[in-house]
Structure 1
Amino acid sequence: AVRHNSGPVHRLHRRTVHQIRTLVRTHLYIGSNMGHLSEIVVFPIKSCKGISTQAATLTNAGLRWDREWMVVKATADEEGRHKFVTIRQESKLALVVPSLPASALSAPLGSEPEAGAAMTVTAPGQAKPLQVALARPQKAALKSVEIWDWKGTGHDEGEEAAAFFTAYLGFPARLVRYLGSASAGEAPDVVRPTDTAYAPGHEVRFADAFPILVASEGALADVNARLAEAGYTPIPPAPALPLTMSRFRPNLVIGGTGAWEEDKWAQLKVSVQGGSGGQVELLAVKPCDRCKVPTVDPATAEKSGGEPYDVLTTFRKGSQLGFSVKQWTHAVFFGQNLVVTPDSVGKTLRVGDAVEFASPAKQW
C-alpha cells in the first residue's frame, strides 16, 4: 500500500527528498547527445538476480550469457511443451543468485569456457549451491519449451538442476538452456527470432522480446523525484526511496544524459575501450512497455504495491507520449529495446565507455 500526501507514517526524511530533487535537476538539464555506460548487467537465468560486471561481450543475441537459461514447469501442457516461469508468477525467483567466473563474462566470442567452468546458483533455504556447466553439451537433452508466443526446443540441464528449483519453488520445475543459432543442427526450432515487426533478422534468447534493454539514470532520477514531490510515503512492503535501477532489470545503464532522452534515440554508438577498440553500434528498435515486474522488490522479492508502476501511469502512457500505435495507448514505457548490428558482434562493452546517441527515433 502507498499513501500520497498523508500523515507522518514512515515519512521521508527531508534531506532524502532534497537529495533526490537535486539529482533529478542535474539530469533534467543535461540535454546532450553524449553519455557513458555507467553499469552493465547480465542476467544468466531469466527472472533471477543479475550480475553487475565491468565488461561484457556482445553476441548476435545480446550480451553473452544473458538469459541463456530459464526455469520452466516440469509438467508439460497438452502439446507436450514446458511453459516458462518468471518473476511475475513466482516473485521469489528474484532471490536466486547466479554467478559466473569473471573471465567468462568478457571472454572473446567463440572461445570455449575454461575446463570445469560453471555457473554457480544459490537460493535461500538451499544448502547446496547448484553447479551448471558453461560448456555446451556435446549432445543436447532436447526439451520442448514455450515462452510467450515462441514454441521451440531447449536443452534440459538435468535432474540436479530440476531438484534445486523444484525444492526452492515448491512445485515441479526444470532448468533449460537456450540452444540458438550456434546449435542449429540439434533441432529445427532452436532459434528464437525477435518480432519481425520491429527487428527482422535478429535473434533473442529467453529475454521477453529483444536482446538488450537500456535505461538512463536520468529517467530513474525523475521517477524518484516525482514520487518525492508527491509526498510518497511507503508503507511496508512498499519500497523506500530512492528506488533502484535493479527493479527495471536493464542490461545497460546510461549516465550523463537528461531524463527521458532515450525516447529520442535511434542508435547508440559506443566507443569501445581496450582490446581492439573501435565502435559498437546498437539500434533502438522499440520503446519498452512495462508490466508489473518493477513492483517486485529485488532485495526481498516482496510485491510492493503499485509503485513505481502507478507513478509511470501518470506521465508515461503511450497516449501521453504521443504514440499512435493503438495497443500502446494504456501501456507505460521505461527504457529502450536494442539489437546488435552485425559489425558489433564479438566486441566487448566496458563500464565507462563513451556513448553517442543518434536521433531522431522512429515516430510511433
Structure 2
Amino acid sequence: MRPFNISPPPTKQRKFLMQFPLPRNIFPVVELPLEQVQTLENNATSVVREIRDYYYDFLTTHHERVDLSEWKKLTTSSVSLMLAVGSLDGTVEDCMLGLQTPTSQRMQLKSAMPSPSQPFHEVAVKWAVEAHPFLVGTVMRVRDIVYLETTGFTTITGPDGAKQPLGYHLKHSIDLPDVHELTEFGIVRARLSYCYLYRQRSERVVDVFLRGFVCAMGDAPESLVVSTVTEIVMSIPKNLECAKMYKLAYLLKRATPPLKSSGSCKECSLCKRTVKPAAPGDIHKICCVCCARVCSSCRVVHKMLKVSPYKPGVTSEKMTFCVRCVRTASEISAALVAAHSVRDADADALPEHG
C-alpha cells in the first residue's frame, strides 16, 4: 500500500472549543504493512459474514419479523445496538452505485480499489471529524472516527433455498498507532460498527437490513446517539437518489451538442405545450443533456457537484434535465456507470450526498 497523508476534511471555520479547519498534516504519512492490510481485510470479511448469518437467521428462523422483546423503539433512552429493516424501490446495483466515492480528494487509504470488472468492490481506511455547532462547547465535544469501510457483493441463501447476490456496506472502527486521538484539540474519538445489506426481493424492490452499534464515547448525551442512529438509518434512501445523479452525470459526459439551439422554440419539445422563447442565459428551461426546450412540467432540476482539478473541495450547480433524459438515465445499467466512473478518474460531475 502506498504512503498516504491523511488531511483534515474541508470544513467551514467555526469557533467552539477548537477551530476548523484543523492544521494540515495533522497526522504523519501513514503506510500500512501488507500484513496489517491483510488483517484489516480479513476482519472486515468476518464482520460482514457475521451480519450476513444474522440476516439469514432473520429471514428463515424469524420469517422477517423483528423480535420486539429484544429490540426497543429508537426513542428509548439507551441505544447500544441498532437494527433497521425495510425495503426500497430500485435495484441492489443502484444502491451500490450510490455508495461510490470516485474522487481522490476524499480522506482515505485504499487497499482495494474498484476495477471495471469489480466496480462495486472497495476497501478503504477513512478518517472523519464532525462538529455540532449548537452543542459543541456547551454540552459536548467534537467527535472524530477512524474506520474501515468496505463495499462489495457476497451471496446469501434466500428463503426459497436459492443463492442470491447480497450487496454489503460496512463501516467498522479501527485503531491505527499513527492516527492518534486528538485530545489536544478537545476531540473525542467515537466508535462504531455497522453494516448495510441489500437483497433484491423482486424486480424493482430491494430489501435493506442494517445492524450494528454507535458509541459516541466521552460525555455525549443519549440524545446525540439517538440522533446519530437516526441519521444512519435515514441515509439509506439517499443512495438511490445518488445513483440517479451518477447516471445523469454519465449521460452528461457523453452528450452531443445539437447542431441548432432549441432556445428559440415556441413549444415544449416533449408535450408540445406553447412556451415563451428562452431568453439569453435562461438555461434552466433547456435540458443539459439533449438541449431540448422543455416546459416546467417536463423538466426537473437536480443539484450536481463538480470537482475542480485546480482547487480543493467541490462546488454545486443546479442543472435542468428533461423527464425523457431522466427516464433514459434510470434505465442505464448501474454496473456500466460504475465501471465507467472507475475508468474516468477525472470525473467532474458527482451527486450531492445530502
TM surpasses 0.5: no
Larger Rg: 2
**Normalising to structure 2: TM-score of the pair?**
0.25
**Greater relative contact order (Cα < 8 A, sep 6+):** 1
**Normalising to structure 1: TM-score of the pair?**
0.25
